[in-house]
Amino acid sequence: MNNAELLKTQFCGMDFNTPLVLLSGCVGFGEEYTRVEGYSNQDVGAVCLKGTTVEPRLGNRPHRVYETPAGMLNAIGLQNPGAEQVIKEILPALPKQETRFIANLSGSTIEDYAEIARQFDDTDIDAVEINISCPNVKCGGMAFGNDPEMSARVVEVCRKATSKPIITKLSPNQTDIAENARRCIEAGTDGFAVINTMMGMAIDIESRTPIIGNNQGGLSGPAIKPIALLKVHQVYQVTREHGIPIIGQGGITSAKDAIEFLIAGASAIGIGTALFYDPLICSKINQGISDYLQQHDMQNVSELVGTLTLNT
């Protein structure tokens, strides 16, 4: 069997060329990444667009990005032109015949999420990813995703506002991610992205101030991979009985990493920070997954999902 057939998979009813998904915030609104010589949309199953809010946002003060040991801090602040411009000017230009495109929806209130989900429902976008790590301005800035009740409420209002597949992006910065996943399933989510970034800080020792203009930022990259793997495994214990798929993400830089996430329970693999230092990494990861499947006499990547056997 050829590599293309081995790698084809389904996620929330969508046909993916491969299990790889380019993560929100790492490739702009999709069209920017096609400028990389040698890149092909055929290498990925889907592209998650940059986080979008109802109204335009300028984002945070600099510095917004800082490299850390085995990782990267970012605090972009959801800079984007707003939903109306994204829908009218960006979506029509996306090469939808080549891969799937997923909108990333963000908000500061429950009403924001409902409104933006409604706006994207009347488009040809393939699915929506809801970023519940945003701060709830009505609750003193606490992130929606850190409380199962608030997470479920966001999913619930989005479910009422759209018929498109909903992928809920879960935060690792919470007490019980499995309970949060369970509540989101009850509220109507179709899939999960596990995990979002961890919160972190870097300090300039000469000025004795945070390097990131927002004081703190989201940590991504290889440093968070072991945490992400565990969270995928924990969420999979809840999702497998419902047949709800997971995009596993967090520090994936090789085929080996990707295979670990598939074994832990992910049905698709999110690639983010690795793109910054190797923009063509997706084809390499695809080849490594294909080689592994052939070596183990598997006919499709789905045969590998959730095959972890725990030590007793």
In angstroms, what CA-CA distances link 187 with 104, 148, 231?
A: 18, 11, 20
Helices (H) and strands (E) in the chain, counts: 8, 16
Q: Which of 118, 152, 150, 149 is nearest to 135 (CA)?
A: 150
Residue spans of alpha helices (H) in the chain: 3-7, 83-85, 110-121, 148-161, 177-187, 225-239, 255-264, 281-295
Q: In a 10 Å sphere around its CB, with 0-12 CB exposed, 13-18 middle and 19+ buried, how is residue 143 labelled?
A: buried
Backbone φ and ψ for 10, nearest 5 degrees, come out as: -120, 145
Question: How many Å apart are CA 271 and CA 20, to the nearest integer?
Answer: 7
**Set 48, 134, 158, 282: catalytic member:** 134
Tell me the β-bridge partners of 248.
194, 269
271 HSE (CA, 13 A, CB side):
30
Those residues whose C-beta lies under 8 Å from the C-beta of residue 50, and which sit 6 or more positions away, are 24, 25, 27, 28, 29, 80, 104
Decide if 134 is catalytic: yes
CA angle 183, 188, 192 (to 5 degrees): 75
Q: So which residues are the catalytic ones? A: 134
